[in-house]
Structure 1
Amino acid sequence: MSSELLNLIANVGFPIAVSIYLLVRLEAKLEVLTVSINNLSNAIKSN
């Protein structure tokens, strides 16, 4: 029973950890992109 549980954690835990890592990185990049788009929009409005 415990070896099955450890096997399940090993098989499922790694993809979950990688997914969380990638989502956190993507969220940070989207935030930077949002700020850049807002700055561009403000620059266009001021001209």
Structure 2
Amino acid sequence: MNNDLLNMIGNLGFPIAVSVYLLVRLEGKLEVLTQSINNLSNVINKSNAS
């Protein structure tokens, strides 16, 4: 049982670690993109209000 568990962790550990790393990086980029879209929306709204 312990060998099976260690083998499964060994086989799946690297793909899980890579997936978590990529998701964390993607989350940061999505946050920046959201802020940029909000800023653009504010500029457009100010431009239309004039």
**TM-score of the superposition, structure 2-length normalised?**
0.81
Q: Compare 15-24 and 4-13 and name the one that shifted more.
A: 4-13
Equivalent residue, structure 1, for 2:19: 19
Question: Unpaired runs of 5+ in structure 1?
Answer: none
- 1:2 deviates by 4.1
Matched positions, count: 47
**TM-score of the superposition, structure 1-length normalised?**
0.86
Percent of residue pairs bearing the same amino acid type: 72
**Cα RMSD after superposing both structures:** 1.1
Equivalent residue, structure 2, for 1:8: 8
Question: Unpaired runs of 5+ in structure 2?
Answer: none
Q: Which runs of 4+ in 1 moved over 2 A?
A: 1-7
Q: 1:21 and 1:39 mapped to 2: Cα distance?
A: 28
